[in-house]
């Protein structure tokens, strides 16, 4: 699309003042026309110009005064917290009164802004130009407490049944009490029958669990490769000018060293930089990362959002806070160590355009780049391959709610806001949000594009991370079973079953496995006849079947998981699955303990500690 | 909807025709030994006469459990194995018809092709042989199609398809197990070259893992319940010796005098005769390796399984593998596009294959051949006598009989309930204390073929001739006598 006359004049002015060179202007004009963005977006995305200088020249081009809002902050009496999101998305806000007229500060002067401002503040207004970074900082400063409070409590206040702020609701406590009482009464009055009954229930549950996962993998494996190929072709064919603005949230905490690598990964995305709205979301107390981000000299498409200190200090809270400043049509979350495949955003846009209108989110596949570091990273990779490459496509094809994975979830931003975004009290807020999306009548899709992450390579750290996940699954299970009938009605019987086996199955299997392993070992080693009464022959057969078929089936599913990526060298490691299950069980009990003691505590996973990441970080650090 | 309307008559026709054929075969004592044993075992299990441990450890598992379930659900005198076999054939016919239509064959051609495949002599033989052979046929079809899928894509679902088909084969028929084991060295060829190049051994591991794990698990269960992990291999060893004897009776020393080689060559010839369509169509597309290799791999596995079964003696006689011929023909119609361009040739080759199938059977199935001769010559057999004796015991409770040795007795009686067989306590006590105290007892003539191995005849050598004290004969035929215990008033 041809450049606007004002942008052409701005370009001439910038060259005339020798702020940029003529070749730079030509390239920027080319980019702006190709991407269908303002000249400024193209220039700032190339880092050829100091943003302040750019906005000063921009003001001069429109013959408007330039204001440094850091040294001259806006009059707080003019600002409304309810309009904060409008200020952030329009990059326009009231600044001060002067001579009886309201001065409007804007980073995007022009006819559209004039019309918008008049509709909101009347005709008695004048404009000053500010840097967009100053507007973002001004909003953060003016509304720090209010936005922080919203980030924490919005979901709990608007949709309290969906928030994990209360761990156990009163009806849940009563139900648990009645259930335990019934079991105790049964044990007192008819101990053998009660134990057999429990045994039958657990055995049937085990059977359902592995049959369900087998069906999911089978269905997921039949996902049409042709469709993925079509999406890939369509993604490549998308014209840059038709691509929407994409917000990228990168919440970070004490990860200063990861910043250069992160910026590099985002620059590598095959998406017009001028249409990226990248927010590096940092905690106010994390001074080291804030300083590193400010001194790194990132392009103008990177913005730093400082999240005020408040409890709970969780990733979802940080994301909720940053969401107020998002300007994209779509939004994605990446972790600091993520390396998305370059065409990911294009594929997401292409998939959204082909998907039903109720598609709220697309989940990309996750995998690890440090696969071969040690046994744990190999097993973790197999686990992820099963989860993201087989199971999630299966859930998608069967129309079941999909618990989202940690990163690379791409949202339609309007739906995300409508759903009150993430639950900051849930430590697997992504899984919870995926289920909530399903409950609210929207769907989650899966995209055939991978983001590579760093796998935890130390068992202690892995257990910490997994125990947080399992604790979060427990929270999610508790939240969504508060109104079981409502849940059943909204997601359907299949969705309900999927939720019970998928979320509940992951939790319960981790907790129950050690008990049954112990039973089996005692039965095998001591040939204990004392177990015989609670294992009548048909039940013994069912338990044996579960033991053999369950172990066999899960080993086989894990064995199949790496085939899609051609990582056949991982296949033999599937025979060591039992060791991995032991770790999962340890994490499950740790998660349960934490759920009781400290349900909202977010246990941070350290990144950049693998040999692979260290090797990658060194040259980048050296270069900066 | 239209397709469903078309396929239903085809499936129904196949079902009724096969059921009738089976009924005739049963009435004339033409049922295979394995089918007879399976039928009797399933009937006994369905009547609750077998502990659950023995049921779950029974082999071949899939046909046994299915037949037991059908026998349990169906009325007493329902021929459960025939019902299962006919249902499977009807399913195969319906699947073939739908698949033929889906790949673009005109409905009439698809119908003719379906009839020629589903009523191929090898498949008819499998139906008469019973559910095991039909399960074998069904899983062979699944495997053959899965091999084509594997060569085309080699994704997770395709690997899973081959793995599960091999596992299904192993639990359908002893020769299915032979097929699964014989497949191991050939599977690497069935995978896409790009995938297999990096780690061929690991790919094969993923393909055969379900089979090997399930066999190990089944052995473990067999060890826990009946107490011997490998007991299920006993019967096949017997059937191989019978087959070998029949081969020698019909063909003498054969071509090379080396049975393994001769039987493999015979199976290869039977496949070529039974499926000339596969030979011609694969030759026409010989440059397109992804269409040729799966068919060749399948045929190679069939021949290797024949050799393995004869050489090892573990898997019984290799006759049942001949059903691979119509299976291969069906898979070629579904997967090789050139078939759709030469419909006349396709039908002609299928007709030729039908005739060739008859010839193939005479080569590889000397048992049935000699059995036909026997039935024709004698007009009856010990099996018919056992069926009649069982019929005479209908409605009588507490019949002591070695039904493991004479499964036809159970079938003749209709139900196993009321029979005191070798698994029962009275049978064990009778043998232990050399004293019979049951309301009825049935024994074959110890001089007859079946009487030689009857445990009651062995324990009571004069029982058939003299009866037991206080018993009198209430029924007898050429082979069997049924005695009843007399009450004090002289009645029984």
CB contact under 8 A, A569 and B202: yes
Residue A534 inside a domain? The answer is no
Residue A39: beta bridge partners? none
Q: Chain A within 8 Å of B160 (Cβ-Cβ)?
A: yes
* A-proximal residues of B, 55-74, CB under 8 Å: 56
Q: Are residues A433 and A289 part of one domain?
A: yes
Q: Are residues A260 and A113 part of one domain?
A: no
Of B56, B156, B210, the CB nearest to A541: B56
Q: Chain A within 8 Å of B217 (Cβ-Cβ)?
A: yes
Across the A:B interface, residue pairs with CB atoms under 8 Å apart total 72
Domain ranges of chain B: 2-30+79-374, 382-485
Instruction: Work out the minimum CA distance from A381 to partner chain B, whole angstroms.
Output: 16
Q: Domain boundary residue among A93, A113, A142?
A: A142
Q: Chain A within 8 Å of B206 (Cβ-Cβ)?
A: yes
Q: Domain boundary residue among A111, A142, A173?
A: A142
Q: Chain A within 8 Å of B345 (Cβ-Cβ)?
A: no
- pLDDT score, position B371: 59
| Residue of chain B with shortest Cα separation from A552 | B213
Residues in B touching A537 (Cβ below 8 Å): 51-53
CB contact under 8 A, A560 and B213: no
Instruction: Work out the minimum CA distance from A567 to partner chain B, whole angstroms.
Output: 9
Instruction: Work out the minimum CA distance from A580 to partner chain B, whole angstroms.
Output: 19
Cβ A126 vs Cβ A104: under 8 Å: yes
> What does the DSSP 8-state code read for residue A610?
S
CA-to-CA dists, residue A577 to A114, A559, B382, angstroms: 63, 10, 55
Residues in A touching B206 (Cβ below 8 Å): 559-560, 563, 568, 571
| CA atoms of A80 and A531, how far apart (whole Å) | 69
CB contact under 8 A, A568 and B198: yes
At B362-372, the pLDDT tens digits run 888 766 655 55
CB contact under 8 A, A218 and B157: yes
CB contact under 8 A, B206 and A571: yes
The question of ipTM being above 0.85 is answered as no
Per-position pLDDT tens, chain B of length 492 = 566 667 777 778 777 877 777 777 666 666 666 667 777 777 777 777 677 777 777 788 898 889 888 888 877 667 778 888 889 999 999 999 999 999 989 989 999 999 999 999 999 888 888 888 999 999 999 999 999 999 988 788 889 999 999 999 999 998 999 999 999 999 988 888 877 777 888 989 999 999 999 988 888 887 777 655 565 555 555 566 666 666 666 566 666 667 788 888 889 999 999 999 999 999 999 888 889 999 999 999 999 999 998 888 778 788 889 999 999 999 999 999 988 889 999 999 999 999 999 988 888 876 665 555 555 555 456 777 888 888 888 878 888 988 888 888 887 776 777 888 887 888 888 888 888 888 899 999 888 878 888 888 888 888 888 888 888 888 888 889 999 988 766 666
CB contact under 8 A, A221 and B155: yes
Domain of residue A398, residue span: 225-455
Cβ A198 vs Cβ A183: under 8 Å: yes
| Residue of chain A with shortest Cα separation from B192 | A566
Angle at B253 between CA B249 and CA B259, to 5 degrees: 100
CB contact under 8 A, A563 and B154: yes
What is the spatial order of strands in the sheet that B419-420 belongs to?
B419-420, B399-400, B440-444, B480-485, B471-476
- pLDDT score, position B252: 64
Residues in A touching B213 (Cβ below 8 Å): 552, 555-556
Q: Chain A within 8 Å of B159 (Cβ-Cβ)?
A: yes
Residue A17 inside a domain? The answer is yes
Q: Domain boundary residue among A455, A486, A503?
A: A455
CA-to-CA dists, residue B40 to A133, A570, B33, B396, B426, angstroms: 85, 47, 11, 17, 19
CB contact under 8 A, B195 and A549: no
Instruction: Work out the minimum CA distance from B48 to partner chain A, whole angstroms.
Output: 13
CA-to-CA dists, residue B375 to B25, B31, B76, B368, B371, angstroms: 11, 11, 27, 10, 6
Residue A212 inside a domain? The answer is no
CB contact under 8 A, A559 and B199: no
Residue A596 inside a domain? The answer is no
Instruction: Work out the minimum CA distance from B284 to partner chain A, whole angstroms.
Output: 28
CATH code (residue A285): 3.90.550.10
At B77-113, the pLDDT tens digits run 677 788 888 899 999 999 999 999 999 899 899 999 9
Mapped to the 3 state alphabet, what secondary structure does A2-54 carry?
CCCHHHHHHHHHHHHCCCCCHHHHHHHHHHHHHHCCCHHHHHHHCCCCCHHHH
Q: Are residues A238 and A96 part of one domain?
A: no
| CA atoms of A107 and A91, how far apart (whole Å) | 6
At B283-309, the pLDDT tens digits run 999 888 889 999 999 999 999 999 998
With a cut of 70, which residues of chain A have pLDDT below it?
A: 224, 527-530, 607-609, 612-624
Q: Are residues A255 and A391 part of one domain?
A: yes
| Residue of chain A with shortest Cα separation from B220 | A548
Q: Are residues A230 and A129 part of one domain?
A: no
- pLDDT score, position A624: 41
| pTM value surpassing 0.95 | no
Residue A444 inside a domain? The answer is yes
């Amino acid at each position: 699309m041809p450049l606007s006359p004002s942008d052409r004049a701005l370009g001439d002015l910038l060259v005339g003042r020798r702020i940029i060179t003529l070749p730079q202007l030509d390239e920027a004009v080319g980019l702006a026309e190709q991407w269908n963005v303002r000249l400024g977006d193209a220039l700032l995305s190339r880092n050829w110009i100091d943003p302040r200088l750019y906005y000063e020249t921009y003001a001069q081009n429109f013959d408007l005064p330039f204001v440094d809002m850091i040294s001259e902050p806006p009059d707080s009496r003019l600002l409304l917290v309810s309009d904060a999101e409008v200020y952030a998305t329009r990059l326009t806000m009231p600044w001060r009164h002067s001579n009886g007229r309201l001065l409007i500060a804007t980073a995007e002067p022009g006819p559209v802004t004039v019309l918008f401002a008049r509709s909101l503040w009347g005709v008695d207004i004048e404009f000053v130009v500010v840097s967009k970074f100053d507007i973002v900082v001004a909003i953060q400063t003016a509304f720090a407490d209010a936005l922080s409070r919203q980030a924490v409590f919005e979901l709990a206040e608007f949709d309290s049944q969906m928030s994990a702020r209360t761990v156990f609701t009163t009806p849940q406590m009563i139900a648990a009490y009645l259930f335990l009482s019934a079991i105790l009464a049964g044990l007192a009055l008819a101990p053998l029958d009660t134990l057999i009954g429990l045994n039958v229930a657990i055995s049937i549950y085990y059977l359902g669990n592995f049959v369900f996962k087998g069906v999911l993998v089978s269905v997921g494996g039949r996902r049409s490769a042709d469709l993925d190929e079509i999406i890939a072709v369509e993604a490549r064919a998308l014209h840059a000018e038709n691509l929407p603005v994409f917000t990228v949230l990168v919440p970070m905490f004490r990860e200063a060293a990861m910043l250069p690598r992160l910026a590099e990964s985002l620059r590598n995305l095959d998406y017009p930089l001028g249409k990226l709205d990248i927010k590096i979301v940092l905690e106010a107390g994390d001074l080291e990362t804030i300083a590193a981000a400010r001194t790194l000299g990132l392009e103008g498409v990177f913005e730093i959002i400082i999240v005020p200190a408040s409890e709970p200090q969780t990733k979802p809270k940080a994301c909720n806070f940053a969401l107020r400043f998002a300007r994209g049509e779509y939004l994605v979350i990446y972790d600091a160590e993520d390396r998305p495949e370059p065409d990911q955003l294009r594929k997401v846009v292409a998939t959204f355009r082909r998907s039903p209108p109720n598609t709220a989110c697309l989940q990309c596949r996750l995998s690890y780049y440090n696969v071969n570091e040690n046994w744990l990273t190999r097993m973790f990779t197999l686990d992820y391959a099963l989860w993201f490459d087989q199971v999630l496509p299966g859930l998608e094809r069967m129309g079941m709610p999909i618990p989202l994975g940690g990163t690379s979830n791409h949202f339609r931003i309007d739906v995300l806001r409508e759903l009150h975004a993430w639950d900051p009290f849930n430590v697997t807020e992504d899984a919870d949000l995926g289920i909530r999306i399903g409950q609210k009548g929207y769907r989650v899709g899966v995209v055939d594009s991978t983001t590579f992450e760093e796998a935890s390579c130390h068992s202690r750290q892995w257990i910490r991370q997994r125990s947080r996940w399992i604790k979060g699954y427990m929270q999610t299970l508790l939240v969504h079973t508060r109104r079981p009938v409502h849940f059943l009605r909204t997601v359907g019987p299949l969705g309900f079953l999927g939720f019970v086996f998928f979320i509940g199955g992951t939790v319960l299997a981790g907790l129950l496995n050690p008990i049954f392993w112990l039973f089996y070992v005692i039965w095998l080693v001591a040939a204990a006849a004392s177990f015989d009464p609670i294992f009548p022959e048909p039940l013994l057969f069912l338990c044996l079947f579960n033991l053999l078929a369950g172990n066999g089936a899960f080993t086989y599913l894990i064995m199949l998981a790496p085939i899609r990526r051609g990582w056949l060298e991982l296949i033999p490691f599937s025979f060591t699955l039992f060791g991995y299950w032991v770790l999962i069980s340890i994490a499950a009990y740790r998660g349960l303990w934490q759920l009781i003691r400290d349900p909202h505590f977010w246990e941070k996973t350290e990144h950049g500690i693998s040999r692979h990441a260290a090797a990658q970080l060194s040259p980048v650090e050296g270069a900066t | 909807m239209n397709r469903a309307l078309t396929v239903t008559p085809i499936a129904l026709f196949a079902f009724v025709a096969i059921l009738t054929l089976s009924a005739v075969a049963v009435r004339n004592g033409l049922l295979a030994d394995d089918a007879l044993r399976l039928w009797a075992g399933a009937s006994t299990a369905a009547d609750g006469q077998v502990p659950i441990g023995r049921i779950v450890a029974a082999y071949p598992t899939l046909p046994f459990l299915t037949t037991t379930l059908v026998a349990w659900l169906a009325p007493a005198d329902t021929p459960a194995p025939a019902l299962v076999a006919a249902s499977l054939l009807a399913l195969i016919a319906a699947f073939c018809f739908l698949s033929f239509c889906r790949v673009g064959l005109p409905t009439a051609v698809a119908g003719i092709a379906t009839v020629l495949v589903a009523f191929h002599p090898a498949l008819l033989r499998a139906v008469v042989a019973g559910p095991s052979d039909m399960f074998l046929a069904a899983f062979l079809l699944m495997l053959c199609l899965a091999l084509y899928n594997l060569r085309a894509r080699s994704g997770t679902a395709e690997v899973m398809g081959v793995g599960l088909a091999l596992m299904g084969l192993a639990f359908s028929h002893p020769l299915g197990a032979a097929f699964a084991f014989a497949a191991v060295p050939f599977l690497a060829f069935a995978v896409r070259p790009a995938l297999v190049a990096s780690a061929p051994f690991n790919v094969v591991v993923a393909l055969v893992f379900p089979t090997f794990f399930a066999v190990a698990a089944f052995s473990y269960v067999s060890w826990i319940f009946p107490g011997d992990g490998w007991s299920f291999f006993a019967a096949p060893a017997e059937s191989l010796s019978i087959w070998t004897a029949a081969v020698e009776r019909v063909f003498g020393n054969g071509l090379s005098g080396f049975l393994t080689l001769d039987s493999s060559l015979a199976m290869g010839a039977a496949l070529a005769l039974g499926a000339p369509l596969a030979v011609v169509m694969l030759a026409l597309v010989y440059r397109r390796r992804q269409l040729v290799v799966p068919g060749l791999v399948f045929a190679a596995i069939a021949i290797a399984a024949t050799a393995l079964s004869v050489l090892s003696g573990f898997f019984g006689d290799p006759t049942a593998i001949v059903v691979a011929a119509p299976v291969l023909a069906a898979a070629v119609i579904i997967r090789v596009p050139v078939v759709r361009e030469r419909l006349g040739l396709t039908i002609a080759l299928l007709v030729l294959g039908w005739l060739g199938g008859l010839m193939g059977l005479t080569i590889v199935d000397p048992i049935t051949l000699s059995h036909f001769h026997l039935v024709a010559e004698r007009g009856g057999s010990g099996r018919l006598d056992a069926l009649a004796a069982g019929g005479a015991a209908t409605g009588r409770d507490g019949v002591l009989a070695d039904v493991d040795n004479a499964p036809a007795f159970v079938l003749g009686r209709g139900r196993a309930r009321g029979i005191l067989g070798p698994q029962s306590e009275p049978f064990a006590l009778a043998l232990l204390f050399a004293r019979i105290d049951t309301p009825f007892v049935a024994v074959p003539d110890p001089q007859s073929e079946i009487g030689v191995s009857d445990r009651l005849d062995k324990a009571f050598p004069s029982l058939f001739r003299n009866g037991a004290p206080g018993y009198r004969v209430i029924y007898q035929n050429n082979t069997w006598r049924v005695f009843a215990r007399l009450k004090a008033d002289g009645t029984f």
